[in-house]
Amino acid sequence: MLSILLAGALLFLYLLLTSLYSWYRLRHIPGPFWAGISKLWLFKHTWDGSMYLTSAEACFKHGSLIRIGPNELITSDPNVLRYILSVRSPYHRADWYEAIRIDPDHDNVLSERDEERHAMLRTKMSPGYAGKDVPNLEESLDNVIHKLVSLIETNYLSTDTEYRPIDFARKAQYLTLDIIGDIGFGRAFGYLDEDKDMFSYISTTEATIPMIILVGAFPWLAKVVQSPLLKAFLPKDTDAYGLGKIMGLAKQVVTERFQPDAKPHMDMLGSFIRHGLSQEDAESETMVQILAGSDTTASATRATMLHLITNPRVLSKLLAELKANQISDPITDSEARRLPYLQAVIKEGLRIHPPVTGLMLKDVPPTGDTINGYFVPGGTKLGYCAFGLFWDPKLWGSDARVFRPERWLEGSPEEIRQKEANLELVFGHGRWQCLGKSIAQIELNKIFVQLLRNFEFSIVDPTKPWNSFNAGVFIVSDMWMRVTKRDPKI
């Protein structure tokens, strides 16, 4: 009995001393008091989905570098972020990224921490993501967007005598998933054709993503979850539904492409293979395309559309610009880029509601670093505060929380370039910039024009436009809209 009490006392003393040491080494860096004592503060706000806003408010209160855990800091300073993410930066991915490993035995371009292998993966996939090796990219996007337009016309048009509401949150996800399937490996999944959550993929991933973000905040959990003991409970390519089912479909397509008699395909997977990506890597990266590519673009589409239709002044100006210019149907990417107010709307949508809010922690180099006048010891983890950056009144003005696209058309050319450079951080930067940036921009250039030229949208319940939960990305449901035919069509 005495030995048990002694062991307990020694364990308590050890935990107390390590906690005091962790607090002491970063005591000079401001932040919420309880965040420096233990990880309970980080756990609470990660668990309840409030981290993206709570951390931003902490930045506004304490400064652009704050402490959110015993060994975790975040910054909302765009210059610091560019430095951390630059090609020659001494910073490296922290173990936060291990939570994004879809296959416990194999890293992907998002989870890979080895710099050389990460660079190799990017090199082999960059031409495909840039669209250079996908000659029918725009045509594929147009075809899938047309399916959404047709679906709305067939099933969801309301009239004076008939009310047919649409959950735009789900339809936006159907759209982006089918786009990824089509341009990624030549097979749309059929979400828009079937008008349902195929294989329950969306519902199961929405239940899984919050746990991934929690595991990222507590990396030791990744080792537990991805251990051989629990591997049997993780999604498998033999599953009949959910993430596992999509993994199986992706593996099937990749296997077909690596057959000796397989014909070349001019899609993204075909590009990856032509540039030397292995079969194992191709299976892993195809899943990353589906997960990362669909969720983020759907999030940007939902948020921008919500802000558009709830701001009549902005919507009126955008519609006037579309009417005043001769644009194709469907609009081309080059035409969209020449419409200044459309571009301002898209930029403002990304700014006011950035799609990715994960911490994306990096390891401070062993020798330490000085950030904004604070010395940060080596081994500390330093991450990203999305809303702290994109809602900062010092960068965007006193109306930073207002959806006002005109801010992108105001100021000197240099001031506009600086705002655009800061917004680029929504896609990351340097060697960790989002590979799908170019494709996402083309999608956004087309989606709003094609929807707004055909339909008028209104939120069914302005007091509760959607259900939204933040888990590094936004999980949105019940975005109910009433849609009517625009007459005349633009």
485 has which bridge partners? 455
Which CATH number characterizes residue 356's domain? 1.10.630.10
CA dihedral 93→94→100→106, nearest 10 degrees, is 70
Two tokens, residue 190: 């059929």
**Helices in 258-324 by DSSP H: which ranges?**
268-274, 279-309, 312-324
Name the residue among 317, 344, 351, 473 with its Cα closest to residue 409.
344
Contact 157, 163 (CB under 8 A): no
Low-confidence ranges of the chain (pLDDT < 50): none
Residue pair 402/411 in contact by the 8 Å Cβ criterion: no
- Using alpha carbons only, give the angle 342, 346, 348 rounded to the nearest 5 degrees: 115
Domain that holds residue 419: 93-369+394-485
Phi, psi dihedral angles at 482 (to 5 degrees): -105, 125
- 7: in domain: no
Asked if residue 305 is part of any domain, the answer here is yes
Amino acid in position 476: V
For position 18, what pLDDT does the model report?
Answer: 61
The pair of three-digit structure tokens given for residue 311, joined into one six-digit string: 């701001």
Ligand-binding annotation for 59, yes or no, is no
What is the rounded CA–CA span in Å between residue 109 and residue 118?
6
Q: What is the pLDDT of residues 16-35, one digit of tens each?
A: 556 666 667 899 999 999 99
The whole-number pLDDT of residue 132 equals 83
- Confirm whether 37 is domain-assigned: no
420 in any annotated domain = yes
Torsion of CA 45, 177, 484, 331, to 10 degrees: 120
Closest of 287, 212, 295, 285 to residue 248, by C-alpha = 287
Structure tokens belonging to residue 297: 């673009």
Which has the closest alpha carbon to 167: 178, 181, 152?
152
Q: Is residue 3 part of a domain?
A: no
In a domain, 75, yes or no: no
Q: Which two structure tokens, joined as six digits, stand for 419?
A: 């705002």
Upper half-sphere CA count for residue 223 (Cβ side, 13 Å): 4
φ, ψ for residue 367, nearest 5 deg: -80, -5
Chain Cα centroid distance, residue 144? 21
What is the DSSP secondary structure assignment for residue 473, as one 8-state letter?
B
Residue whose tokens read 């047309």: 146
Alpha-carbon span 46 to 93, nearest angstrom: 20
Q: Give the C-alpha separation, 28 to 6, whole Å.
A: 35
* CA-only gyration radius of the chain, Å: 24
User: What residue type is 244 in one-letter code?
Assistant: G
Q: How many domains does the structure of the chain reveal? A: 1
Q: What digits encode the pLDDT tens for the residues 151-199?
A: 999 999 999 999 999 999 999 999 999 999 999 988 899 999 999 999 9
Which pLDDT score, from 0 to 100, does residue 5 have? 62
Q: Is residue 128 part of a domain?
A: yes
